[in-house]
Amino acid sequence: MSAVEQTLYETLGGEETIGKVVDVFYNKYVLNDDRIKDFFVGVDMEKQRLMQTKFLAFAFGGPAFNGKKMNVAHRHLKLKDEHFDAVIDDLGKALRDFDVSDEIIAKIVAVAETTRDDVLGRTEKSAPVVPEMEHVDRELLHTDPIYRFQYVAKFVDFSDKDVEAIKSVAEQLAPLGSVLVDAVYDKLHKFDVTWASMAKRHEGYSGQVVENVDDLGVDSSQIKYRKDMLTRYIGRLLTNPYDERMIKYLDWVAKIHTDIPGKQSKINVEYIHISALLGFVESTLIWAISTLKLEREHELRVILAFNKVLWLQNDFFAKYYAKDGSDVPNSFGLHAHPPKSKFSLQSAIIGGAVAAIGFLVARRL
């Protein structure tokens, strides 16, 4: 028994005075405290006062206490920290009614705090808590773009914090938008297989279409139109709320690049090029973010946020090519119609590699 505990017992006047404090503690405070009074409904308060008196006497350095262990006595109540805090608060009030000094009350509270984990059952060995498994409707994954987005967003932990991170650099990145757009089209112009996709009418473009790849320059009106579309796309990524309207927009962006029926454009880009382009966009974005000279933690949050957004966009592209869900009526994919471009294992591997590389780059910055 420590000297401090013995002194507390003696200072309070022994078990008799402690019993009086306990009476006031329950009658005046606990049983009128909305935070905890319901725990004492139907309780034999005479017995409760006696047991509490003997326990406190023991805790403060008095005679041995032979009652139940704290975790056993309180297990059925499922108490929380706020309940324990209320008890400590009421005990302090009762002690002040007996003119106990704040210094002594602080020592008493310190002793009481040593029982917190026992009272709340934290010292008991229990089976690990297994989180409840969330049900995912497979049919909706392949038919409802909103539901699909929400599932993937939850899986990659895309949240409002990521949206905030993106918006936090919107003004700084906006001037770099044209640089990013030019970089994208310079990259597309380096390969005939990707530039050939540019020689098609884009949805919404009403001007003259140059269909000969050799005659299609980066300054042509149809390329300028596409650049303008990409600029607006980047602007929306930076500033729009990620609500249902935005989700439908991201889905539309994916859809117009595929051979799915019901669209106006003649574009049909194979998935391998979509995947490679998204990887290039992410790398360019990481470079752009690095030029902002953000604090390390802020920079990492922004990079990871964009990584998640581009992966969500990639999934919207992939769902129109993949054969997953071919057994689901009215599903998204091209497999429901005679496809002109097929989703291949090679494309999937490249897509996964791009995402992995982007994530690793973000982690290393």
Distance CA 313, CA 110 (A): 55
pLDDT at 73: 65
Higher pLDDT, 23 or 7: 23
In this predicted structure, the answer to whether residue 342 has a pLDDT above a threshold of 50 is no
Q: Is residue 352 part of a domain?
A: no
Q: Which tens digits make up the pLDDT trace of 251-265?
A: 999 988 887 776 666
Q: Are residues 219 and 331 in the same domain?
A: yes
Q: Which tens digits make up the pLDDT trace of 64-123?
A: 766 666 656 676 777 888 988 998 999 999 999 988 888 888 888 888 888 888 888 776
The position carrying tokens 């009481």 is: 112
Domain boundary among 94, 120, 146: 120
In this predicted structure, the answer to whether residue 243 has a pLDDT above a threshold of 90 is yes
CB 362 within 8 A of CB 307: yes
Task: Give how far Cα 64 sits from Cα of 19, 61, 320, Å.
Answer: 16, 9, 74
What is the DSSP code string of 230-290? HHHHHHHHHHS--SHHHHHHHHHHHHTTS--TT-S------HHHHHHHHHHHHHHHHHHHH
Q: At what angle do helices 177-188 and 271-290 cross, to 10 degrees?
A: 140
Q: Are residues 225 and 86 in the same domain?
A: no
In this predicted structure, the answer to whether residue 340 has a pLDDT above a threshold of 50 is no
Task: Decide: helix, strand or coil at residue 328.
Answer: coil
For position 88, which CATH number holds? 1.10.490.10
Residue 349: which pLDDT band, with cuts at 50, 70 and 90? very low
pLDDT at 125: 53
In this predicted structure, the answer to whether residue 298 has a pLDDT above a threshold of 80 is yes
Q: How many domains does the structure of the chain reveal?
A: 2
CB 181 within 8 A of CB 230: yes
CB 265 within 8 A of CB 201: yes
Q: Are residues 170 and 287 in the same domain?
A: yes
Q: Is 220 left (phi over 0), alpha (psi -120 to 50) or beta?
A: beta
The helix or strand, by DSSP H or E, that contains position 125, with its residue range, turns out to be none
Q: Are residues 32 and 111 in the same domain?
A: yes
pTM above 0.75, yes or no: no
Q: Which tens digits make up the pLDDT trace of 146-185?
A: 999 999 999 999 999 999 999 999 999 998 888 889 999 9
Q: What percent of the chain has pLDDT over 90?
A: 37
The position carrying tokens 């949805």 is: 203
Which class for 270: exposed (0-12), middle (13-18), buried (19 or more C-beta within 10 A)?
buried
Q: Is residue 349 part of a domain?
A: no
- Which residues span the domain enclosing 87? 8-120
Residue-averaged pLDDT of the chain: 81
Residue 130 in tokens: 């297994």
Phi, psi of 183 (to 5 degrees): -65, -40
